[in-house]
Structures are given as structure tokens and as C-alpha cells.
Structure 1
């Protein structure tokens, strides 16, 4: 009977398109799941998406067209783009697709972890399924805590408000909010328990592999500034998979118009997941980059020349120096949310820089740039200081890890260190002359970097409250 109940619960989780809160689910169909193999197959979840619309414009890399800002009713995008700390963003965030989907996925992983031991099947498959579910559960908690809480600060993490940890399948749970330290401890426990069982070549591209597991471990340690552990994990990940797709050669062969690179054929990708869905990059107006980032690319970078358009006013403020991503997803899969090998290389470079090993740090950058820069200066000189070396690394991260969460997370974590903190400024509008120009500023310690929990989740769970000093409307 217990097995049947768990199987039914898992059926519910497998088919739901959305959920109203992280523990409130309405079944829409039924499939019989009885075997260990059924549970293992459930780990594979194509088209898993993490919508970043609540915070995508709180960075210096993205841009909004003047037509979408000037004269428009204030919405969360405009509030974030203009760094408006006085606006009541809490009342506008009545719900959050990102929040709901992340906890929906966590409940899916929890049902696998809780239910598979009650099935008949090989213990090897049970261990593998639980390991894959745990590494994905760790990933989802990592995203959540870095969106809704302060970036990890060793001095304050034990008291900084975090998120609710969901460590078991429970439809009625109203968990307490854990601290940032507690959430990271939970994440690291899941990773460490998963790693011994993950495979180098799992059953399909939507099953996490061991290179992904060690890459996530490296990222968590790096965000905690545990540099020795981050370096060790990055090297371990790269020992399994270290591909860098040669965009220079790709450009010479005609690029996306001549050769399609689609899932699972991009050798850099460690985990296939998306911001909005597997056609997300088709919507160029949401993927406009700022004049600052466009200038950072220069004129000889394949990452820009192959994928971006800067000479059409249809979807970007071209006269402002903006540009937009212009390659359909069925021509080239560009990883935005999940981990990829090039990020692991860049994490390793940062570890070397933080250890004052500037030569090895820059060697990694030059190895990457050799497959990115079409002409002109490929190899960077080795700086004399850690700050200058870190600036080179951050610049390469901005050009390599576009859209998704990466720049938002990097600004948050680096803003905790005065040496690397950045005050963002944006003068706007650039083109129109009938509207007075204003300069908008985002300080490194701005509360805007901590996204409010959606109102519907806080109304349903009285244990969940904001990590900022903003007021609730109820």
C-alpha cells in the first residue's frame, strides 16, 4: 500500500505543468509508475526552464529599448532597469514563475528520492536515481538562495535570511525559512552524497553527469570563497569533460547558417536547461545587450560576430550602441542557465587569480580566447596584481556566460568584496532628445539585489518573509 501511495504521488508530480505554490499541486493526468526504472526515467526532464524575468535587468549587461521604458506604465522590468529603490516592487510581485517552477522541480526530485526505495529493481539504479535527483535538488536550492537572499558572506551567512529548504515530498509543508549558511550546508551535503554515484556518460542529456556534479561543487565553493576546494572540484570536473567549442573554426565554416549545433551536440554543455524554454533565444528583444557589453566584445570576437546584430533598429536601440542575439535555437544551442565547461575553466582561472597565480589564470583565459577571437590580439598579458587579473576574468565571464543568472550572481557575490565591488550607472535615454536624460545608479549594497518572495507564497506560508526591510501589503 505504501508503495502504491508513493507511486501515485510521483505520478502527480510527473505531469503537472505548473504549481500555485511550492507545496500545492493539482494533478492533471495519470501514468502508472511502479518500477525502479520508471523512477529513474523521471529524472530526465526536457525543457526544464528557470524564468529570470524578475531580475534580468538588474545588471550592466542587458538593455531595454527606449520604446519599452519611456511613456510606459511602471512594471518590474522598468523598476529594475532604472534601479528604482523607491518603487513598491513587493506589491508587483504577486507571483513568480521562477519561484514556482524551482520548487516544483524540487518536489519532483524529492518524490524520486523518497519513493524509489519502495520499488523492485537494482540497487545500482536506485542509488543512481537518488544521486541525480540530489544534485539537481542542490542546483535548484542554489539558484533560489542566490536570487532571494543576500550573497554568501562568511561573516554574516549564519544570520542572513535565506530560503525554505524542501528536503522531502510533502504537499502540506509550511517550512521555516533557513539562513543562508543552513541552505549552503544543505546544498553541499546533497552534492557530496550524490558525487560517488554520478556517471560520466549517463542515460541521456537531461540526466546530470559527474562533470556537472563537480562543476556545481566548484561553483558553490567559489561563491563561499573556499578557493582551495573550488579549485580541486573544478579540476576534477575538467578531468571528465573540458571541451571548448572552437568558434573561430566554426565561423570559418559558415557558422550557424551553415552548420546547426543543437542539443545534445554542443560539447560544452554540462546540463541542458533553459531560461524560458528550448526556443528561448528566438525572442531577441528580451536578449538585448547593453552598449557597455557590446563595446567589451570589440569587433573581432566570434561570440559577438556570430550571434548578435547591431545594425537593425527593429529589436534594439542601435543608435545607443545596443545589440541583440539573433540566432534561432534550432541553429545553435547557447547555454544560458545550466553549467558548461567554459564556466568551469573560468572558475579555475579565478581560483588561480585568488591564489596570486596570475600566470596560470591568464593561460586559461588565453586558451579560451584562442577559440573565440577571430583576429587581432588573442593572448592577454599577465597583469602584476590580483585585482587586474580578476578584472580580465570577470570581463571574459561577461562575454562567455550571457543572459541567465550569471552576471546577476557575479555582481552580488563580488559586491561583498570591496576590491571588486561595482556601482552600476546607466544614463537614459540615449537616443531620444525630447525626454530629459537621467543617470540611474545601483550601489553594491542595494536591496534591489535581493528579490522579494512572491506574495502568493508568503500568504500561504506565514513562516516565509522578506529578506529586506520592504513592507508587505497585507
Structure 2
């Protein structure tokens, strides 16, 4: 069935039947059959172009990359990408759209179409409940990304009053777009996941669809971002009890085996991809590269010398998006990330030995044969530092580092001040400062009830 995209002032929606453009124009679509069967709604959830993608802009704002004072590289960034890279006060002009915002709210709208209508469709009760649960999981994953881009990091002391997002739970296009609090958004994320979990399959048909492991892993990521570390560790362990396969990178670095694509990768729990923003690969930061030792195979597999990229540059760049044409970069849930979430939760709750066991179990599959040496920690604080460094090495080039930077910026002993030179100007990102993406001015102008972030 052909589906057309229509745009309202806040969202870019996948339209079904008749829909109205708020403050723009009404659009009626002829020759569109109604969604009658549960299979119709499952086809919506099977739409890879909608649900496989997630925001790519954290690739630019995170401290994984650094252009340095390099005018030739600087000229390759468009104005909005430059703004994101330098943590500017505004990213877009009033006539520009934020593709990430539109894309993610399109996912929300499609999920809301399913949750609002699938239970009244023709089909078995089991199939209807399964589609409903999948829509809840996808909505929860999308809101977790949105709230960690456009709202302040979760702070238990202020989450109930910090402005979050328009929390849309139905496909009604004429609802107020006032921002729910950060706490309300997280409460809805947790509600959706917990309601969906009993109905998710033990093993999904493929990793584009959530199963039990994805439900627990998404809960673990959510609790980690909330700073509820015991809950993060507990749910990560439940996810790993369902899915725990790790690839041994020794089998791939020599070229003897082909590294698997995302859909075939047994480490992938729930598939989401990012595509490189713009057309240029940026150099990886010296700070990040210095965290690798020569025996770390992630350095060999997932980074390449700057001379291999166009345009060439000094240093090394992330190679994840070049491993397969059009395959993108995994930013969804994975076994390694979930292991490190569990390890961080254990380290923060004083279970140092258990945390280090998980870190070392991962590293056994990441270091060259014969070169592995177990890491040790004298206490919980040292174990936490090791886990955070391991997250940087393991999640290199995925953009997930930005979400770690946000939450760690609230902790005085973990927060860091970042600086970047661009166009001869030094840009500084202080702890607690501009870790929030601005809502596009275009959306605020068209919807006055939206308010801009205080950054």
C-alpha cells in the first residue's frame, strides 16, 4: 500500500486515511483503504524506513570527534552542522526543519496509530496484543532518545519540573503541544516497556522487532539514564539471560571471516541505525584514541587511518559506517552495551568484583589472542572509571557517547569540560551547559505553546 508523508507544524507523519495539517492545510487522500486487519497494523511496524532509524546528530556533538584547527575540514560542514559541532545556542534558522525531531515524532505517530486502533481490528487477540506491545516498545525507545536530546538530563531533584517533551499518546493531531515534564516522559517510557514485556516474544523474527531481551535491555538503558543503578544492573542481567552472544573479533580482524551486517549480527538486541550526518567523516579525538592499546582489535576493525577517507585528514576516523555500503551504524540495543550497563550498575552499588568480571568477559573477545590481560580495580570508584572507558572503546562511532556525557555532566567527580576550536574561535562546553538540543525555532513559531529550552 502506498503511504504518503504529510507535515504538520510539529511532526512529520505517516498519514493513513484522512488527516489534517494543523495550521497548514487539510489533506484528503483518495483511494486509501481503511486499516481493517491486524496484519495492516503489523505492516506499519514492519516499515524499516520508519523504525530502523534514529538520530545521527550525537555523532557530531559527542567528544568522540574533533576537527581541530583544520580550515579545510571546517569548510565541509554546513552551517547547521557547524552549530551542532560547536554546541551553539541555536542549530537551525526559522525556515529549517530538524530532520531528527521530525523523524522521531513520525515514529511516535505511527506507534500511536497502532495503539489507538489495533485492538478493534480483525484478527486474533494474540496477534493484536503482540502488535500493541511492539508499538509500545518502539514508542518507549523513541521517547527515550527524544528526551535525551531535547530535554535536560534526568535529575531526581528537578525532573518533575524540568520541561520535557510534547507527550503524544494518541494519533489526534489537535492536542495541546505543551511540554510534559522530564519525569512524566520517563514515567511513560517505563509504563510502556513494563506493559509490553509480558507480551514480547522470547525470540523475535529478526532484530528489527523487539523481543524479551530488548524489553529488559531498554529498561536497563532507561534506568541507567535515570541514575537508578541497581535497577539498571538487574534488568541488564535479565536481558543477558535471554541473549548474550559475543563476537570474537580475532575471527574477523585477519579477514578470515566477514564481519556480520546488522541484521545478521548476534550481538544486536534491537536494531536502530544512524547515518553519518553530512557527507564527511570527522577525525576521531586524540582523547578517545589514546584509550586504546595496540592489542585492542576494535581499533583495527572500527577505525582507519585518515588517508583512507575522502577528503583525507591526519589521524584516524570511525570506519563503522564504511564496513558495508548503506548499512549505517548500530545505535540500538546490543549485548556489549547491556553488559557494560550491568557492569556500571554493579560498580556503582559496590559490587566491584562482579563489575570487573563483566568488563573482562567482554575484553576477552576484543583483544588479540595471547594479549589479553584481565583488568583489576581496587574499589568501586576505580571500577566505575574502567567501565566508562570501556563504554567509550566499545561504543566508538555510534553517537551513544553523547548520552553518557549528558548524564555524567551531573556528577562533579565525572563531569568534564570540553573545548573545540572552530574558525579560530574556542568553543567550551561546561558541565550542565548546553547538553540539551534546542527545539527548532520553526516549530516554536508555528506552535506558541512550545517553549524553548533553558540551556
Find 1:455's aligned residue among 426, 429, 441.
Answer: 441
1:155 aligns to what?
A: 157
Q: Is 1:298–2:300 an aligned residue pair?
A: no
2:132 aligns to what?
A: 130
Contact 2:270 2:334 in 1 (8 A): yes
> Matches of residues 69-468 of structure 1 in structure 2 within 5 Å?
70=74, 75-84=79-88, 88-89=90-91, 91=93, 94-252=96-254, 254=255, 258-276=257-275, 285-286=280-281, 288-310=283-305, 312=307, 314-315=309-310, 318-319=313-314, 321-325=315-319, 328-330=322-324, 335-374=329-368, 378-426=372-420, 428=421, 439-446=426-433, 448-468=434-454
Distance across 2 between alignment mates of 1:146 and 1:411: 11
User: Structure 1 residues 459 and 261 mapped into 2: Cα distance closer, same or farther (>3 Å)?
Assistant: same
Distance across 2 between alignment mates of 1:393 and 1:312: 31
Contact 2:321 2:327 in 1 (8 A): no
1:15 aligns to what?
A: 3
| 349-358 or 27-36, larger mean C-alpha shift | 27-36
Find 1:56's aligned residue among 43, 59, 75.
Answer: 59
Distance across 2 between alignment mates of 1:245 and 1:332: 22
User: Structure 1 residues 315 and 64 mapped into 2: Cα distance closer, same or farther (>3 Å)?
Assistant: farther
Per-residue CA distance 1:391-446 (angstroms, 9 max, x = gap): 111111111113344111100001111121111234x48xxxxx96x654321121
The alignment's C-alpha RMSD in Å is: 2.8
Distance apart, 1:124 and its partner CA: 0.6
Partner SS state of residue 449, structure 2: coil
TM-score by length of 1: 0.84
User: Structure 1 residues 25 and 409 mapped into 2: Cα distance closer, same or farther (>3 Å)?
Assistant: closer
1:4 aligns to what?
A: none
TM-score by length of 2: 0.87
| 109-118 or 59-68, larger mean C-alpha shift | 59-68
| 36-45 or 114-123, larger mean C-alpha shift | 36-45
Per-residue CA distance 1:293-351 (angstroms, 9 max, x = gap): 222223222112023211516446643x3334166353796753211111110000001
Distance across 2 between alignment mates of 1:288 and 1:61: 9
Partner SS state of residue 177, structure 1: coil
Count residues with an aligned counterpart: 438
Which consecutive unaligned segments of at least 5 residues does structure 2 have? Answer: 16-28
Partner SS state of residue 270, structure 1: strand
User: Structure 1 residues 83 and 143 mapped into 2: Cα distance closer, same or farther (>3 Å)?
Assistant: closer
Partner SS state of residue 264, structure 1: helix
Distance apart, 1:140 and its partner CA: 0.6
Distance across 1 between alignment mates of 2:388 and 2:304: 23
Distance apart, 1:373 and its partner CA: 1.0
| 328-337 or 75-84, larger mean C-alpha shift | 328-337
Contact 2:237 2:342 in 1 (8 A): yes
